[in-house]
């Protein structure tokens, strides 16, 4: 789920390299060998996911005794329904069943999501993917805790997050320079807002608070002209790094990112700026929690050290010049504006279509 730089140019605009942490055989022309994923002809009712999830387990885990299968329904997601099926006490054998929310195909290209999931898995940045079904995916459960706004402010944890983001950003782009998906997404969402929603917003207070469509269109044009000139490298981005999409495994001292619906090549600074916006939370939003410049510079220093090491190896060293750090800081805070615009449009569209109990307008 999501909902939720000017005069300086970044000196580190190098093309992404292969992830050196990845096992050799998995490296392919696109950064990782992609194995086929089974597709099961099963549809799961998003209003009652347990029967469908158990049916999937009969196919995926035929050795499991149906009477011993336990389920746990997760309630944090506001785009999809998520349930874990398992037999072991510690959920060590758990399979996650994610059922797509209603009309989420308006936002998400499911074939691209599946492809990106496999690419990330090939580089050790995603769990095992067991199967796709008509309206969802089944994949490995990752042990750990989903982060909250207080976790992402902890210097120990945020350094792990910065390093993991660098690992994703360093995945090889097959030697080509991909186009950022940001402008296509923004125009698509804004077009949906204009077509479907503007005449039907019945909440008077919302009407009063919302800028005019003309003003929003002007802002979108301004953002594209301004942000595309900042020189931010285009890399493989998660694009939706809210706290609950980060799992912290304390035993291994590593974080993993989950939910790749919006993953794609995008501006490096957008991915980071979007994550900084998520420090404010989702259900109880407090922008007083947006990271201070000092916190951001610490975070960005960890990120740049890891990114340079991953993309340049010994040639790059781990020195991060102050001007490089400041340049990225400026870029990130400008791209955070595009993140606000994107998820605002997203929220208006979700309010119209989603069956999940969440106040998207708010």
Domain ranges of the chain: 39-141, 146-197+211-353
- 7 pLDDT tier (thresholds 50, 70, 90): very low
Rounded distance, CA 265 to CA 84, Å?
30
Pick the CATH number of 146-197+211-353 from 3.30.56.10, 3.40.50.300, 3.40.50.970, 3.90.1200.10: 3.90.1200.10
Tokens of 221: 């044009």
- 354 pLDDT tier (thresholds 50, 70, 90): confident
If we measure between CA atoms, which residue out of 172, 131, 173, 168 comes closest to residue 35? 131
Of 58-67, 147-156, 192-201, least confident by mean pLDDT is 192-201
More confident residue, 300 or 25: 300
Tokens of 345: 């449009």
Cβ-contact 111, 206 below 8 angstroms: no
Mean pLDDT of the chain: 85
Give the per-residue pLDDT at 312.
86
Q: Taking CA 37 as the corner, what is the angle to CA 34 and CA 40, rounded to the nearest 5 degrees?
A: 170
Domain 39-141 sits in which CATH superfamily? Answer: Phosphorylase Kinase; domain 1 (3.30.200.20)
194 has a pLDDT exceeding 60: yes
State the CB neighbour count (10 A cutoff) for residue 171: 24
Give the per-residue pLDDT at 78.
63
């Amino acid at each position: 789920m999501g909902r939720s730089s000017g005069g300086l140019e970044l000196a580190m605009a190098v093309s992404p390299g292969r992830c050196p942490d990845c096992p050799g055989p998995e490296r392919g022309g696109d950064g990782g060998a992609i194995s086929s994923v089974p597709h099961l002809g099963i549809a799961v009712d998003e209003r009652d996911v347990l029967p469908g999830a158990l049916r999937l387990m009969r196919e995926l885990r035929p050795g499991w005794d149906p009477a011993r299968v336990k389920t746990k329904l997760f309630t944090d997601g506001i785009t999809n329904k998520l349930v874990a099926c398992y037999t072991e006490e510690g959920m060590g054998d758990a399979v996650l069943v994610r059922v797509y929310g209603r009309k989420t195909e308006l936002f998400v290209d499911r074939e691209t999501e599946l492809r990106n999931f496999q690419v990330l898995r090939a580089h050790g940045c995603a769990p095992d993917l067991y199967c796709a079904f008509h309206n969802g995916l089944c994949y490995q459960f990752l042990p750990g805790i989903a982060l909250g706004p207080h976790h992402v402010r902890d210097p120990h944890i945020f350094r792990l997050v910065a390093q993991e983001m660098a690992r994703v950003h360093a995945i090889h782009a097959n030697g080509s320079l991909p186009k950022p998906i940001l402008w296509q997404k923004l125009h698509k969402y804004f077009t949906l807002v204009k077509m479907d929603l503007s005449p039907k917003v019945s909440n008077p207070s919302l009407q009063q608070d919302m800028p005019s469509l003309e003003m929003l269109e002007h802002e979108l044009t301004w953002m594209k002209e301004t942000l595309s000139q900042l020189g931010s490298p285009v890399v493989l981005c998660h694009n939706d790094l809210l706290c609950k999409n980060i799992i912290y495994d304390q035993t291994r001292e590593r974080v993993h990112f989950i939910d790749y619906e919006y993953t794609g090549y995008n501006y490096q600074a957008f991915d980071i700026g979007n994550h900084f916006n998520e420090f404010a939370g989702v259900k109880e939003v407090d922008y007083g929690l947006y990271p201070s410049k000092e916190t951001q510079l610490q975070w960005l220093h960890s990120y740049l050290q890891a990114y340079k090491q991953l993309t340049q190896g010994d040639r790059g060293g781990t020195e991060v010049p102050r001007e490089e750090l400041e340049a990225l800081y400026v870029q990130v805070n400008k791209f955070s504006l595009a993140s606000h615009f994107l998820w605002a449009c997203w929220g208006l569209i979700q309010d119209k279509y989603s069956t999940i109990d969440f106040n998207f307008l708010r």
